[in-house]
Structure 1
Amino acid sequence: MPAHEGRALYAAAARAARLGLPLLEIGSYCGRSTLLLAAAARRAGTVVVTVDHHRGSEEQQPGQEYHDPRLLDATDPRRMDTLPVLRRTVAAAGLEEHVVAVVGASPRVAAALGGGGGGRFGLVFVDGGHTDTHATADYESWAPQLAEGGLLAIHDVFPDPAAGGQAPYRVWRRALASGAFTEDAACDSLRVLRRIGQGI
C-alpha cells in the first residue's frame, strides 16, 4: 500500500474508531496496514482484529509476480507463511495489546465468530484475496457485521481494467448499489464507504 493510501486508511480508521467498536482487517499479510489500524485503535482504546490464512494470495505464490522467497514456510518450502513476520512487525511497533490476529480463511472465521450479526465492528477493511470468489466472500461474510455509521474500506479498487484486477472494484460497486452504503472518502485505489442502512 502506497504511503498516501496508508495515511487515508489511518484517517478512516481513526474516524471509525470513535464508535468505540473493534476494527476488522481482512488480509494482514506482513502487517503494514495492520499497524495503521492498530495505531488508530490504540488512540480510541479498542483493538483491530486481523484475519488472514497467512499462506499468501494467488500472486504471491512461488513462480508468481509478487513472490518473496523470504516468506516461505521454514518447514515446507512449497508454502508461504507470513504469520511470523506479522507477529514481529506488530511486536516491534509496540502494538501487540491492540492487535488480535486470527489465522484462517476469512469466511470460515466470520462464521466461527458469530456469523451475520450487525454492529460488531466500526470498520471493515477488505484487502484479502483479489479474485471474484475471495473478494465477494469477504464482503458477504463481514459487511453485515459492520455497525451502522461504520466504514467499509476496500483496497485495490481500479475502475480501469488496465490498472489492476476488477474484483475489488465489483465489490465496491455492489456495496454502493445495495443502498446500504454511501461514499465517504477515496484515495487512489482505496475507497471508503459509510454504512447507512440494511440490505447488504
Structure 2
Amino acid sequence: MTIALPLDMTDIKGFLAEDEAEALYNYALSLAERGPVLEVGSYCGKSTIYLGLACQQKQGVVYAVDHHIGSEEHQLGEMFHDPELYDASEARFDTFKEFRRNIRRARLEDTVVPLVATSEVSARHWQTPLAMVFIDGGHSLDAALCDYRCWAGHIMKGGILAIHDLFPAPEEGGQAPYAIYKLALASGLFEEIARVNTLGLLRRI
C-alpha cells in the first residue's frame, strides 16, 4: 500500500525502518475504527506520524506516551546521544519540542494526543480499551517490563501488540524488547501474527 505522506520522513529523526513503518500503518488502519492506538516511546514522532496518518483516515486517535527526556542510551556520552536534542541550558535531553514540530508539520495535531509522562504515571488510572499498542520505549529490562505490564492488559480482544527492536541473538542488539515479546507469548493472551524486520506483531486472543 502506498502511504500518502505529508512531509519527507527522512527529515525526521528516528530508528524505524520503512517496512516496519508500513506494517504499523497498515495494522493501525485496520484497527482504528475499533478503538484508540497507543504508542510508548515517541522520540521525535516518526512512528507517531505513521500511526497518526492511519488513524486520521478513520477519525481515530493516537495516544503518544513519552517523558521526552530520552532513554538511557540517549543521555550525554551514550551511544545514541544526539547533541541537537540536548538542551544545554537545562542540562537535559529533550525531544518534545522536535516531536511537536513534526506532528504539526504532518497536520496531525487533531489526531495525536501527547502524554508527556512515563508509562507508569500515564497508565495509573487508564480505563479505555486499546485497539493497538506499540512499545518502543526504554530498552533496559526494567523499562521494557514496565511498559508491557502497564499496557498489555488494556488491549482489547483481537487487538494488536507491536514491539520494536526484537533481536533474538544478543550480539545483534539489546534483549529487553525480545524478553517482553517472549513474555507476551508465554502469557497465553497473545498469538504471533507477523515479524517485519525487528518489529514483532501479536494479536490479543
With structure 2 as the length reference, what TM-score do the two structures score? 0.90
CA contact (8 A) 1:12 1:192 kept: no
Correspondence for 2:58: 44
Structure 1 residue matching 2:200: 3-state secondary structure: strand
Correspondence for 1:79: 92
Change (3 A) 1:74 1:87: farther
Correspondence for 2:109: 96
CA contact (8 A) 2:33 2:60 kept: no
Matched, 1:54 2:59: no
What are the superposed Cα offsets for residues 40-94 of structure 1, whole Å, 9 maximum, x if unpaired?
A: 1111111100000000111111111111111112631x21110000000000011
Q: Give 1:100 shift.
A: 0.2
Which of these residues, 11, 17, 30, is aligned with residue 32 of structure 2? Answer: 17
> Quick one: distance in 2 between partners of 1:134 and 1:94?
31
> Quick one: distance in 2 between partners of 1:49 and 1:3?
22
CA contact (8 A) 2:64 2:114 kept: yes
> Quick one: distance in 2 between partners of 1:91 and 1:131?
31
Which moved further from structure 2: 94-103 or 4-13? 4-13
Correspondence for 1:108: 121
CA contact (8 A) 2:43 2:68 kept: yes
Q: Give 1:134 shift.
A: 0.4
1:104-183 correspondence to structure 2 within 5 Å? 104-111=117-124, 113-114=125-126, 117=127, 120-183=129-192
Structure 2 residue matching 1:33: 3-state secondary structure: helix
**What percentage of aligned pairs have identical amino acids?**
47
Q: Give 1:3 shift.
A: 1.2
Q: Give 1:16 shift.
A: 2.2
Off by >4 Å, runs of 4+ in structure 1 = none
> Quick one: distance in 2 between partners of 1:134 and 1:180?
21
Whichever residue aligns with residue 169 of structure 2, its letter is D
> Quick one: distance in 2 between partners of 1:129 and 1:159?
17
> Quick one: distance in 1 between partners of 2:169 and 2:148?
21
Q: Give 1:132 shift.
A: 0.6
Structure 2 residue matching 1:152: 3-state secondary structure: strand
With structure 1 as the length reference, what TM-score do the two structures score? 0.92
Q: How many residues get paired?
A: 190
Structure 1 residue matching 2:25: 3-state secondary structure: helix
Q: Give 1:191 shift.
A: 0.4
Which moved further from structure 2: 6-15 or 29-38? 6-15
Q: Give 1:110 shift.
A: 0.5
Structure 1 residue matching 2:162: 3-state secondary structure: strand
